[in-house]
Amino acid sequence: MRLTLGPLLYYWPRDQVFAFYRQLAELPLATLYLGEVVCSKRRLLRLEDWLMLGEELAASGKQVILSTLALIEAESELALLERQLGNGRFLLEANDVSAVQRCAALALPFVIGPHINCYNAATLEVLCRDGAVRWVPPLELSGDALALLRSSPKVQIACELFAYGRMPLALSARCFTARHYQLPKDDCHYRCVDHPDGLRLDSQEGERLLVLNGIQTQSASLLNLLPALPRLQQLGIDYLRLSPHSQAMPQVISTFHQALHDGDLERAAATLQRLPLHDYCNGYWYGRAGMVNGEITSTRSP
Amino acid sequence: MKRSAMELVCPAGGLPALRAAIDQGADSVYIGLRDDTNARNFPGLNFDPATAERALDYAHRRQRKVFLALNTYPQVQHPEIWQRAVDLGAELGVDALILADIGLLDYARRRHPTLRLHLSVQASATTHQAIAYYRDRFAIERVILPRVLSLRQVQRVVEGCGVEVEVFGFGSLCVMVEGRCLLSSYITGESPNTKGVCSPAHAVRWEERGGQHQSRLNGVLIDACSGSERAGYPVVCKGRFAVNGRIDYAIEEPTSLSVLDLLPQLQSAGVAAIKVEGRQRSPRYVAQVTTLLRRALNACAADLEHFQVDPAWSQGLAQLAEGSTHTLGALDRSWQ
């Protein structure tokens, strides 16, 4: 099992993005996903910048994959997709069926991103015929469901599991960060840049629930599949995806790397617990509410 | 200039609602089966095979159509439930299946080559390229567009996609792209994609506490207010939350969609059908909405250039709307 870094879902200044990726170049990551997934208005990095960064990372031995937007609506967004397709070097992660359609039409292999609704073997078969070479299952898919899928002889595709980080839960045509600042979406002042890890949303009782990230809504807790590592190994999962944030990401990567090699989950869990962001959840994996942490059934009380 | 009216597609959660919709002028009615295969999987709602047969008989005798919505995503544990539902639809002679899942579309097209297929809103197809994917592989004949596109974007899709386009005209409004929202399962474990539910009733609790009316979802406080105001049904996107110390509807105000004002533009754009949301609604509600929209659609077709919204229609619909306020939704925005 190897580690990958999912696309950056937040909006950071250009220099910060470059510095972030450059510090990761020497870390044990097999694949890095580059590109803007959330909002086409975020233009501090153009496609050319991402490609330049990609060249640098590829030169240090990393596999680079370009992620497409998760919600494609406008002609300009389809045009950006065409430019991504024509990059001539890197694979694409398709996060919208528009991207699947175009990859298939151009006979380009692609990764099925977590935003594509691929919940079963029949769908996976069709997507493989279309040229899919790797699959990131939907976040909702449980470990048992994945095990059943992996046991199907028809399903032979590399599997990359979203294993760590805030989960992208929903997409909208509206921007909730702009809404919070009472700004219209078309004049949003790019306020996302003020929130390097999103904008926290709590219940009226102070329970941390969600994070607003422009048009995307994320879980407030970070998904953490570290406790399920033995099962993931047993299932032959090929890659574990870590989704980036701004705080101590190199430590997250080395902790997962260490755990994969020495199997010392307790020590790894303790390290993760000491990091700045350490509210974890993994309920989906155990077939439960996504926000729950742990395997054991517990009844939430108000 | 007189043209034919856009098709009016109305919801039915049971036989009485279906009869009401047809009696009041719906061209088509969409229904679901009594299981996980449809996105309104609520207790006491939907059709068993025998009732579906009666529904089809009622509609077909009056030259109206019935569509069967199988618009959840087949789960690995029991994909055969969805496949059997496809076969049942074909046996019953429904006029179209409304499907979202790529694998199920593939199954339906292979098993039933002549069966009419519509692409559900839950497939989240928002561009002509995404629609082309389903058209080229499964010969879908209609797409239902997510409620996130602007009017201009709808026009572009109609021009470029080569299949009929159906848009939502009235009812509850999803602010999130349909088929790509896990907020319900994050809190309850059950979502529209997996179980056909959003904020399932068994996870909902209403409470009075500390002088507050509260609504909770699996224990999580989603809405709270005091005085004569009522806490809303705990749908996550419509809750009141704290962001930076300010408590408000951080995601969306509870409003309903109504496209009355835009009917001429939708008709000119070539939109084929207008859909009413609400299979969970009462037969009376369905009858009222159908009556008003039928009049509006006929008036629009009779004289597109001089179409004006009759205040009686908008008042009538306003009384039926959630939160009693209306929005044109994303259709109205000039921006991307």
Contact B131, B161 (CB under 8 A): yes
β-pair partners for A111: A93, A134
pLDDT single digits (tens) B167-208: 999 998 888 999 999 999 999 999 999 999 999 999 999 999
- Joined together, the tokens standing for residue A49 give 């910048």
CA A32 to CA B320: how far, in whole Å? 50
Answer whether A170 sits within 8 Å of B237, measured CB to CB. Answer: yes
Contact B217, B187 (CB under 8 A): yes
Query: Which residues in A lie closer than 8 A to residue B250 (C-beta atoms)?
Result: 176, 179-180, 201, 212
CATH 3.20.20.190 in chain B: give the residue spans: 7-173+255-332
H-type alpha helices, chain B: 15-23, 49-61, 79-92, 102-111, 128-138, 151-161, 183-188, 192-195, 263-269, 283-302, 311-320
CA A61 to CA A281: how far, in whole Å? 32
Indicate which CATH number applies to the domain containing A122.
3.20.20.70
Closest CA to B31 of B44, B43, B53, B14: B14
| In a domain? residue A209 | no
Among the partner-chain residues B133, B183, B251, the one whose CB lies closest to the CB of A97 is: B133
Answer whether B241 sits within 8 Å of A202, measured CB to CB. Answer: yes
- The pLDDT value given to residue A298: 43
Query: Which residues in A lie closer than 8 A to residue B176 (C-beta atoms)?
Result: 170-172, 217
Contact B296, B260 (CB under 8 A): yes
The nearest CA of chain B is from the CA of A149 a distance in Å of: 7
The nearest CA of chain A is from the CA of B124 a distance in Å of: 8
**What DSSP letter does each residue of A155-187 carry, written as one string?**
---EEEEEEEEEEEEEEESS-HHHHHTT--GGG
Query: Cα-atom radius of gyration of chain B, to the nearest Å?
Result: 20
Q: Which helix (H) or strand (E) holds B220?
A: strand B220-226
Contact B307, B299 (CB under 8 A): yes
Contact A123, B83 (CB under 8 A): no
| In a domain? residue A291 | no
Q: How many domains are there within chain A?
A: 1
Query: Which residues in B lie closer than 8 A to residue A300 (C-beta atoms)?
Result: 218-220
- The pLDDT value given to residue A297: 46
**Alpha-carbon torsion (B241, B124, A196, A257), positive or negative:** positive
| 3-class secondary structure, A107 | coil
A96 has a chain B CB within 8 A of its CB: yes
Category of B121 on φ-ψ map: left (φ > 0), alpha (ψ -120 to 50) or beta: alpha
Phi, psi of A259 (to 5 degrees): -60, -35
DSSP B33: B
Could you identify the residue written with the tokens 């429904």? Answer: B94
| In a domain? residue A162 | yes
- The pLDDT value given to residue A155: 79
Opening angle at CA B187, ends A95 and A248, nearest 5 = 60
Answer whether B74 sits within 8 Å of A122, measured CB to CB. Answer: yes
The nearest CA of chain B is from the CA of A300 a distance in Å of: 6
- Packed helices B49-61 and B15-23: angle between N→C axes, nearest 10 degrees: 10
DSSP A108: -
- Give the mean pLDDT of chain B: 93
Q: Span B7-173+255-332: which CATH code?
A: 3.20.20.190
Contact A130, A100 (CB under 8 A): yes
Contact A290, A140 (CB under 8 A): yes
Closest CA to A174 of A183, A166, A163, A165: A183
Spatial neighbors of B164 by CB under 8 A, at least 6 apart, are B141, B142, B143, B272, B273
Which has the minimum average pLDDT: A192-196, A203-207, B1-5, B245-249? Answer: B1-5
Closest CA to B181 of A110, A149, A203, A173: A173
B219, closest residue in chain A (CA to CA): A302
Size of interface A-B (CB pairs under 8 A): 226
CA B165 to CA A4: how far, in whole Å? 40
* pLDDT tier at B231, thresholds 50, 70, 90: confident
Could you identify the residue written with the tokens 């690995």? Answer: B76
Closest CA to B102 of B127, B74, B141: B74
- Annotate B78-94 with three-state secondary structure: CHHHHHHHHHHHHHHCC
Which has the minimum average pLDDT: A74-78, A184-188, B297-301, B317-321? Answer: B317-321
User: Taking 50 as the threshold, does the pLDDT of residue B19 lie above it?
Assistant: yes
- Annotate B56-124 with three-state secondary structure: HHHHHHCCCEEEEEECCCCCCCCHHHHHHHHHHHHHHCCCEEEECCHHHHHHHHHHCCCCCEEECHHHC
Give per-10-residue mean pLDDT for chain A (302 aa): 98 97 96 98 96 97 98 96 97 98 98 97 97 98 95 88 98 94 91 97 97 98 97 96 97 98 96 95 97 67 38
Answer whether B243 sits within 8 Å of A199, measured CB to CB. Answer: yes
State the ipTM, two decimals.
Answer: 0.95
Contact A244, A27 (CB under 8 A): no
Report percent pLDDT > 70 for chain B.
Answer: 97
Contact B161, A185 (CB under 8 A): no
User: Taking 90 as the threshold, does the pLDDT of residue B327 lie above it?
Assistant: no
**Alpha-carbon torsion (A22, A28, A34, A36), positive or negative:** negative
| 3-class secondary structure, A2 | strand
Spatial neighbors of A150 by CB under 8 A, at least 6 apart, are A159, A235, A236
Range of the domain at A129: 2-166+222-286
**What DSSP letter does each residue of B295-314 carry, written as one string?**
HHHHHHHH-STT----HHHH
